[in-house]
Amino acid sequence: MRWVLGVLLATASPIACETCTCGYVLADDAHKSSPVLFTDRLETNFASLSDFNRNSAWTRQQFNVSAESGRGKYGKSFEVENVFSYAGPNVFEHQDAKRDAKKSPRAMGLRVGSIPTAMGAIGAAEIDSARTDMFWGSYRVLMRLTRASGTCAAFFWYRNDSQEIDMEFLSREFNIAAKVFPINLVVHSPESMRDGYDASKSGTLRRVELSFDPTSAFHEYRFDYLPGRVLFFADGQFLAEMSGKKMPNSGGHVILQHWSNGNTLWSGGPPSSDAVIWVRSVKAYFNSSDAQRDKKWNDKCSSEEMRAKTCQVANETSEENRSSDGSAGDDDHANDDGPTTQEDSPGSLKMMPTMARLALWIVACILLSSL
């Protein structure tokens, strides 16, 4: 059976069937025992987004975190205006944006301030996905990091403080001359929350050296959140895997964040001048924790003809697309009619609907190929 899967996927085009109405297949590789079917998609090209008020898929955040709550020297002040588009009306308020415009054309900026406010907080930036039912999935971001020392940039999935998957970049750890560029891979669990949010004590923190300079160009960072395991990648190259009972088992949402609070053990800072990270796109292929979406998928994809309408997901964004400025136009898709898989429940039960749908997809593709 594994050999048959390999043949099917090897002969499939990047878009396996005509449309993606009934899901997205992540192909088998060295770290998965079989292909995985995801039922929903969220793709946003921030390079083409100039007005956040017209985008319903993402919400810029405004809130404060005290120094005590954030375990830092300073508080954090997340402000809507610190999330901005290069093509947006407020881009020229940011000196860092003007300085980096040639390197980062057409992208979303997340800014961290350099001067504490009167309340002793550092300006920060956060934008969240509107959907909060994002479950098993493959989550990717295309971004370029800052060289300004003293910030934490993060791409993560979040349910609550005890269920969180992070890819975090501490700019104070970057050494351009020595070509040292670590990434911190974190899974928060009830155990890490008990240990004061120190995932190193619970064994769910990995520090991995990147093979490239993340501040000089756009690169893709990805994590695959699967039942009982989380896999991390950079530009399609495997970085690390965590597995076991400490892995999340619920639906949540995706967050992009850039902040500093002076904590010498983490973000450091604040930076000596305002710092900006640039985000070109986010792509997510996932199952939903919403039972109503699951029912809608079953109703829509009950026939053999519909079951064949799935697409194969690439393991990474092509180098050409990573270097492109994304000026071809908007590519913001939320598959609102798309499938869902299951409610929040223990891991092994959740995979069953997904694999059943994959089996149906394989049968349908075999039938179509014989016509």
Tell me the per-residue pLDDT of 95-152, one tens digit each, with 9 for 90 and over: 455 555 555 468 999 999 999 999 999 999 999 999 999 999 999 999 999 999 999 9
Average pLDDT over residues 28-48: 83
* pLDDT value, residue 30: 65
Distance, first Cα to last Cα, the chain: 22
Q: In CATH, which of 3.40.50.300, 1.10.10.410, 3.40.50.12780, 2.60.120.200 is domain 2-369?
A: 2.60.120.200
When mean pLDDT is compared across 52-61, 209-218, 250-259, 304-313, the lowest value belongs to 304-313
Average pLDDT over residues 210-218: 97
Average pLDDT over residues 250-263: 98
Q: What is the pLDDT of residues 149-179, one digit of tens each?
A: 999 999 999 999 999 999 999 999 999 999 9
Confidence of residue 276 (pLDDT cuts 50, 70, 90): very high
- Of the segments 87-96, 107-116, 195-204, 293-302, which one has the largest average pLDDT value? 107-116
Average pLDDT over residues 231-240: 96
Model pTM score: 0.81
Using the predicted structure, report yes or no on whether residue 67 has a pLDDT greater than 50.
yes
Residue 302 CA neighbour count, 13 Å, CB half: 6
Average pLDDT over residues 222-241: 96
Using the predicted structure, report yes or no on whether residue 294 has a pLDDT greater than 70.
yes
When mean pLDDT is compared across 37-41, 195-199, 217-221, 232-236, the lowest value belongs to 195-199
Using the predicted structure, report yes or no on whether residue 6 has a pLDDT greater than 60.
no
Check residue 66 and report its DSSP letter. -
What are phi and psi for residue 282, nearest 5 degrees? -130, 135
Residues 345, 206: Cα–Cα separation, whole Å? 27
List residues bridging with 156 in a β-sheet: 166, 255
Using the predicted structure, report yes or no on whether residue 249 has a pLDDT greater than 50.
yes
* pLDDT value, residue 28: 60
* pLDDT value, residue 306: 81
Residues 220, 213: Cα–Cα separation, whole Å? 12
Torsional sign, CA 75, 81, 87, 92: negative
Residues 309, 332: Cα–Cα separation, whole Å? 20
State the pairing for strand pair 311-313/24-26: parallel
Residues 261, 81: Cα–Cα separation, whole Å? 19
* pLDDT value, residue 202: 85
What are phi and psi for residue 147, nearest 5 degrees? -90, -10
> pLDDT higher for 48 or 65?
65
* pLDDT value, residue 330: 34
DSSP per-residue letters across 170-200: EGGG-BTTTTB-EEEEEEE-HHHHHTTS-TT
> pLDDT higher for 282 or 7?
282
- Of the segments 27-36, 184-193, 245-254, which one has the largest average pLDDT value? 245-254
Q: Are 97 and 84 in contact (CB under 8 A)?
A: yes
User: What does pLDDT average to over the chain?
Assistant: 81
Using the predicted structure, report yes or no on whether residue 299 has a pLDDT greater than 70.
yes
Domain boundaries, the chain: 2-369
Confidence of residue 54 (pLDDT cuts 50, 70, 90): confident
Average pLDDT over residues 75-94: 77
Q: Are 135 and 288 in contact (CB under 8 A)?
A: yes
Confidence of residue 87 (pLDDT cuts 50, 70, 90): low
Using the predicted structure, report yes or no on whether residue 17 has a pLDDT greater than 70.
no
Residues 337, 17: Cα–Cα separation, whole Å? 18
Distant-in-sequence, close-in-space partners of 74: CB < 8 Å, separation ≥ 6 = 67, 116, 120, 121, 122, 260, 261, 262, 270
- The one-letter amino acid code at 129 reads S
Q: What is the pLDDT of residues 314-366, one digit of tens each?
A: 887 766 566 555 433 333 344 333 322 222 222 322 333 444 454 454 444 44
Q: What is the largest CA-CA distance in the chain?
A: 71
* pLDDT value, residue 368: 41
* pLDDT value, residue 288: 96
Q: Are 133 and 250 in contact (CB under 8 A)?
A: no
Average pLDDT over residues 250-254: 98
Q: Which residue do the tokens 């809130």 mark? A: 63
The SS3 assignment for 152 reads strand
Q: Are 66 and 125 in contact (CB under 8 A)?
A: no
